[in-house]
Structures are given as C-alpha cells and as structure tokens.
Amino acid sequence: EADIYQTPRYLVIGTGKKITLECSQTMGHDKMYWYQQDPGMELHLIHYSYGVNSTEKGDLSSESTVSRIRTEHFPLTLESARPSHTSQYLCASSATGTTKNIQYFGAGTRLSVL
Amino acid sequence: SQQGEEDPQALSIQEGENATMNCSYKTSINNLQWYRQNSGRGLVHLILIRSNEREKHSGRLRVTLDTSKKSSSLLITASRAADTASYFCATDNQGGKLIFGQGTELSVKP
C-alpha cells in the first residue's frame, strides 16, 4: 500500500457548495497529480505540481484549483460545485531523481453533486 | 486525444486461463507502465518496461513492448478470481506526466 491518503472517500453535496478534497503523502515525493475519472473510463490529468509553490493545469480543463504550500499536501478546491463535477478524483505522487516516473495513487474521492 | 488505446475494452475468462491485453500509443516513449485498478479504488503500479526492452516478467505477469509498432501487451497467466479488475497502460514520454489508456476491464470467473 502506498503512503498517500485522500479524504473524504465519499462526498455528497448540493449545488453551489465550496468543497476541498484533501490529499497527503508521506513519501517525500516532489511531484503530485490530480486526475478525474468517470466510472469505467480513462484518467484525465487536471492538475499537477513538481514542488512547493509550483502548480500547473493538466490536459483536461477543470474549474477546480489546487495549492502546494507543503511538500506532503496537495488539496483540490471547487469554489462552487455543480452536477457536472460529479466524478471520482484520484490523487497521485511520484519521486524525482528517477527516470521511472512510477506514480502512487490514493484510494480516491467519489464526489456526487446534487 | 489520449495517447494510449487498449483492447479489448472488456475481457471475461475462467479461472486458470490466460488473459492478454493490448495497448497502442502514438508518440515516442521513455517507458511504458501497467497499472491495476480494483473497483472504486486508486491505481496500483504493476510493471514497467523501458523503451529499450522487449520483454519483462514479474510473477504471473509478462509484458512485451514493440516500439516499431508502438504497442505493448500484458499477459496474466493462470488467472485467478482475485485478478478481476481494470488494467491500464500508461506511457511516459519524458514530459514528467503519464498518459493513461482507456483500460481493459477483466473479469475472471471462478
């Protein structure tokens, strides 16, 4: 099991609410990622970070934002949730200083916006 | 569009049989990786094959890579019910990001 944790595991909220999905890792990895995945579908990269105070948008446009104030913590925020945000959100991390770029994933947050 | 395409999209076999999944990609790569995802969970790394390798083994897993055809295959031998999951290939093209395929959903019936 990888040492990367996501909370909450499940979240059901109403439209317009602000939410923050938490992701923490204890492996000291510099690189962290957020993916969005609909059931049975491929992963889409929505945000990534290569270190503290570094964040970039991924390949899939997302209304969410991220921050990276500490190496171990990479939270994702939705200012005003909508039904179209209903999906599974996966956080991952990988180490620098290696050519392998193996990613370690959290268990995911399944978000449902009513 | 996504780099990787996998086939079949779904595969159903009996315990003890072998399962083969294929992955094709479009650009040059540094390495190709296979991940497993149990229903409702995150992905778990299974095996990595570098661009200068042609075959790799790990337990019941065998991965091949053909860079001339830009394709890879994952073979699971003597499958078990516990192998039931979705399997994704992911390519690393040295950009620091992985690009995942669409996945193959494997069902192994006891």
Cβ burial, residue B67 (10 Å; 0-12/13-18/19+): middle
Question: Could A33 and B45 be called an inter-chain contact, meaning their C-beta atoms sit closer than 8 Å?
Answer: no
Q: Please tell me the number of Cα atoms within 13 Å of B12 on its side-chain side.
A: 2
Question: Could A101 and B40 be called an inter-chain contact, meaning their C-beta atoms sit closer than 8 Å?
Answer: no
What percent of chain B shows pLDDT beyond 90? 82
Q: How many helices (H) and strands (E) does chain B have?
A: 0, 11
Rounded average pLDDT over B42-46: 95
Q: Please give the residue that has the higher pLDDT: either B69 or A41.
A: B69
Chain B nearest CA to A16, separation (Å): 25
B1 band by pLDDT with thresholds 50, 70 and 90: very low
Q: What is the mean pLDDT of chain B?
A: 93
Chain B nearest CA to A27, separation (Å): 16
Spatial distance between the Cα atoms of B95 and A47, rounded to a whole number of angstroms: 14
B5 band by pLDDT with thresholds 50, 70 and 90: confident
Supply A19's token pair: 């939410």
The Cα angle at residue B59 between residues B8 and B66, in degrees rounded to 5: 50
CA dihedral over A29, A55, B33, B39, signed as positive or negative: positive
Which one of A90, A102, A108 has the shortest CB-CB distance to B45?
Answer: A102
What local confidence, expressed as pLDDT, does residue A62 receive?
Answer: 83
Q: A85-109 pLDDT, tens per residue?
A: 999 999 999 998 777 789 999 999 9
Q: Is the separation of the CB atoms in A85 and A91 below 8 Å?
A: no
